[in-house]
């Protein structure tokens, strides 16, 4: 059976790779990923063929993984975090569907068995480092308007504000995008207090990890870069200091009733 594993290795290096992902990588002869992720795999690369493609060539990376597997090479397409969350897995299925419609040649792709394996995503580790911010209803929004119109993203942020969700922002800024996070902050501030806790998790799970607590009122775009996960509490999220350190958590339930109001 020709096989393609589509796997996430979690944040950081080693401590959060699930056993099934570890086995999938070990069983593969070919590993396809962004170079930095491959470097993090260390000795797992030994004896395997490494297919490194730069950022920006995501669709080519997914196609290469399918092609290698179709040739009979057991292949792992790898990303850090959860490959199913704002990452490469969806591209594999986009390509597969294009093949069904005749828009991809996809020679031999139908003989490949595909298995997707989740990994720990950045929002989960950001919450864990500071306590339990994802203890109640939450959402995740990518602020990248490369493929999604900004109007759609802004509507989602507005909906997140209306629903009083804890919000994790992926891709909050990039070299070319610097104003989206400020606009998101502005929208959320219309509906939740300035003292709402905000977690800034940078390089989560890596040696140079930093996790900072701030507030929605104090959040500055300059404190955030493309390696940062921004997690904004709901109106119920609480921050406190236990005498040694700060913690943030969102209680299981609460009495406040939400209404969508007339200003939407």
Site for a copy of itself in 210-239 (CB under 8 A): 238
Binder to a copy of itself among 34, 51, 135, 192 (CB under 8 A)? Answer: 135
Least distance CB 35 / a copy of itself (angstroms): 21
> β-strand 197-202 against 166-170: which pairing, if any?
unpaired
Q: For residue 234, give the nearest of 176, 163, 182, 169 by alpha carbon.
A: 163
Question: How far is it, in rounded angstroms, from Cα 158 to Cα 161?
Answer: 5
How far apart are CB 147 and a copy of itself at their closest, in Å? 3
For 138, residues 6+ apart whose C-beta sits below 8 A from its C-beta are 123, 165, 166, 167, 168, 234, 250
71: left (phi over 0), alpha (psi -120 to 50) or beta: alpha
Give yes or no for residue 125 binding a copy of itself (CB under 8 A). Answer: yes
d(CA 179, CA 60): 29
- Residue 118 Cβ, how far from a copy of itself at the closest point, in Å? 4
Q: Answer yes or no whether residue 201 interacts with a copy of itself by CB under 8 A.
A: no
d(CA 98, CA 211): 41
Phi, psi values for residue 142, rounded to 5° = -90, 130
Q: Is 22 helix (H, G, I), strand (E, B) or coil?
A: helix
Q: How far is the CB of 123 from a copy of itself (least distance, A)?
A: 9
Sequential DSSP letters for 158-201: HHHHHTT-EEEEES---SS--SHHHHHHHHHHTTS-TT-EEEEE
Q: Which of 29, 49, 155, 195 binds a copy of itself (CB under 8 A)?
A: 155
What's the min distance (Å) between Cβ of 259 and a copy of itself? 6
Window of 66-74, 82-90, 192-200, 211-219 that interacts with a copy of itself by CB under 8 A: 82-90
Which residue(s) pair with 197 in the sheet?
215
208 lines the binding site for a copy of itself (CB under 8 A): no
Among 1, 19, 207, 222, binds a copy of itself (CB under 8 A): 19
Specify the residue, 65 or 91, whose C-beta has the smaller distance to a copy of itself: 91
Q: Using CB under 8 A, count the residues that bind a copy of itself.
A: 84
Q: Could you tell me the smallest distance in angstroms from the CB atom of residue 222 to a copy of itself?
A: 25
Residue list 159-198, contact with a copy of itself (CB under 8 A): 159-160, 162-165
**CB 223: neighbour CB atoms within 10 A?**
15
Which of 49/254 has CB closer to a copy of itself? 254
Site track for a copy of itself across 39-78, x = CB under 8 A: ----------------------------------------
């Amino acid at each position: 059976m020709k096989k393609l594993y589509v796997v996430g290795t979690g944040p950081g290096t080693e401590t959060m790779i699930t056993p099934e992902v570890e086995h999938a990588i070990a069983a593969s002869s070919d590993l396809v990923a962004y170079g930095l992720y491959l470097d993090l795999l260390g000795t797992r690369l030994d004896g395997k063929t490494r297919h490194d493609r730069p950022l920006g060539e995501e669709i080519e990376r997914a196609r290469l993984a399918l092609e290698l597997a179709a040739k009979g090479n057991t292949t792992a397409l790898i990303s850090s975090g959860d490959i199913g969350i704002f990452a490469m897995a969806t591209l594999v299925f986009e390509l597969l569907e294009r093949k069904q419609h005749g828009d991809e040649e996809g020679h031999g792709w139908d003989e490949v068995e595909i298995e997707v394996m989740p990994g720990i995503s950045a929002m989960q580790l950001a919450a864990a480092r500071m306590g339990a911010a994802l203890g109640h209803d939450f959402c995740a929004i990518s602020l990248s308007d490369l493929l999604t119109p900004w109007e759609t993203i802004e509507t989602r942020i507005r909906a997140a504000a209306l629903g009083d969700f804890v919000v994790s922002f992926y891709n909050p800024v990039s070299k070319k995008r610097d104003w989206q996070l400020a606009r998101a902050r502005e929208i959320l501030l219309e509906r939740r207090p300035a003292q709402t806790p905000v977690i800034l998790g940078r390089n989560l799970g890596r040696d140079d990890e930093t996790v900072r607590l701030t507030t929605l009122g104090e959040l500055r775009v300059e404190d955030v870069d493309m390696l940062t996960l921004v997690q904004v509490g709901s109106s119920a999220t609480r921050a406190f200091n236990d005498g040694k350190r700060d913690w943030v958590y969102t209680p299981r339930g609460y009495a406040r009733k939400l209404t969508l109001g007339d200003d939407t």
